[in-house]
Amino acid sequence: MKSPYFKEEHHLFRETVHDFFAKEVMPHVSEWEDNRRVPKDIWKKMGDMGYLGLCHKEEYGGMDADIWYSVIFLEELAKTNGGFSSNVSVHIYMATNHIAKAGSEQLKQKYLVPSIAGEMVAALAVSEPGAGSDVSAIRTNARREGDNFIVNGQKLWITNGTYCDFYTTAVKTENGITLMVIDGNAEGVTRNKLNKMGLHSSDTAEVYFDNVKVPVSNVIGEEGRGFHYIMDSFQLERLVIGMSSIGANEQTLEQTLQYMAERETFGRAINKYQVLRHTIAQLASEVEQNKQFVYHTCWLHEQGEYVVKECSMIKLLSAELNKKVVDECLQMFGGYGYVEDFPICRAYRDVRVGTIAGGTSQIMREIISKIVVDGIEHKRAYNPSDAQNIQGNNTSIVAKEIIKSLADRFRPEKAADYATTIHYDISGENGGQYTIKIANGACQVEEGLQGEAKCIINVADKLYEALETGKADAQAAFMNGEIKVSDVGEMMNFTKVFKRLS
């Protein structure tokens, strides 16, 4: 079929990828599922084929190919096995992506180059026991000591976590959430494999950091901007999930159609029963619809568009559709669908995590509603805009007056026993440095930075005015790097005890 996206070279690439997986992966899937991991030699084979560097620059061993090569690779990858697909997609498009985008030349040479070659396996360590979709709630901390950080904390649900060579890790430093590379064999790193419901061939772990020494040079990008890098990269992660869903859904439908053509009841193949035919027709229509939406969004991404809305929609729709397709197709297999010998049974276990990982369906709906209902716009974190250039921010009250009004807007009935000290460092002619102290049911605002703060907030005066008057969105400001907060959780507790500006 003709396509506005794929050229002849893309089709040839698909044949090569399909043949590679048929030879190197498919004969071993059951063994990998039983062993709960894939062998490291498969990574080197993929590296030799250039697959691990499809989206990375040639100077680091990558192919720097257009997005359609990644689409093809991820579709074919998803047809092999859910766990294996998860391992590889995290390695290429998540863990190494941050190093490729914001890492120093030293980090790229030490970690990105061997990862593209398949000589190293990477993991992304962001989630924690109390911080899944809410990245700002992470508690793993890094204390600066000379030329090193000392890292302590715990990570959970980490793909490739047991046998990876390094972690792209989110930690909290004194400047806020920061990304850094932590070697898997570093002293103080402990890993425990998790016993999951599905994705059995995917190595998933909880990871502990106990006074792990990490060189300052291992920081990815700018210290304190990790939250924004993560938010930005969520778009590619969710688009990757959409690409993978295409292959997974098409594979499930193909296996189901083959079974329906062979399975007979009452003297005829079950693909002749109208009720079953119509179920397949509906599923096939929704799969095709989702595929075209994913393709269009890939095209927008390739054109340089920052497609937060579309990627969030794709994550929501693709994950929910994966569940629906597998569930309704398994019904066609009857009792056989409940037996591990049939791939549909394995697929049923594997897809369940789809509406949880990478942002829950509930979170996706909230992100979409903020964009569609509230009109929130998002900008790239890797190219933050100047906070001084906020349009339409003509307010009659300036930042220094707003900050001083906090004492009058304080709600002691909401504070109860809450006590804190917050430092505001507001740049611009209407800004200044202020200390807000809450204790014993009272709020005090002082000029200058007094005492030790639980949270430090750096923001431009115009942006602060826009945030307080409802003309800018705080979440968008965080994602765009326009406001820096050393402890997001403390700031959220702080804001709850004040009335909004009238």
Q: How far apart are CA 485 and CA 142, in angstroms?
A: 16
Of 273, 142, 302, which Cα lies nearest the Cα of 213? 142
- At 201, phi and psi to the nearest 5? -80, -5
Q: How far apart are CA 364 and CA 315, in angstroms?
A: 7
| Cβ contact 237:198 at 8 Å | no
| Cβ contact 93:240 at 8 Å | yes
Catalytic-labelled residue, pool 237, 250, 468, 482: 237
- Please spell the DSSP secondary structure of 19-84, one letter per residue: HHHHHHTGGGHHHHHHHTS--THHHHHHHHHTGGGTTS-GGGT-----HHHHHHHHHHHHTT-HHH
Q: How far apart are CA 420 and CA 55, in angstroms?
A: 46
Tell me whether strands 219-220 and 176-183 are parallel, antiparallel or unpaired: antiparallel
**In the 8-state DSSP scheme, what is residue 199?**
-
Q: Can 237 be counted among the known catalytic residues?
A: yes
| Cβ contact 380:306 at 8 Å | yes
- Please spell the DSSP secondary structure of 365-432, one letter per residue: HHHHHHHHTS------SSSPPPGGG-TT---SS-HHHHHHTHHHHB-HHHHTT--EEEEEEEESTT-E
Q: How far apart are CA 161 and CA 455, in angstroms?
A: 31
Report CA-CA distances (Å) from 139 to 178, 213, 275, 358, 458.
12, 17, 52, 19, 21
| Cβ contact 447:432 at 8 Å | yes
Structure tokens at 65: 């190919």
Three-state secondary-structure class, residue 164: coil
| Cβ contact 449:486 at 8 Å | no
Sign for the pseudo-dihedral over CA of 349, 354, 356, 357: positive
Structure tokens at 82: 């859910």
**In the 8-state DSSP scheme, what is residue 128?**
B
CA 243 from centroid of its chain's CA atoms: 15
| Cβ contact 32:84 at 8 Å | yes
Structure tokens at 5: 């996206």
| Cβ contact 40:163 at 8 Å | yes
Which residue numbers are catalytic? 237
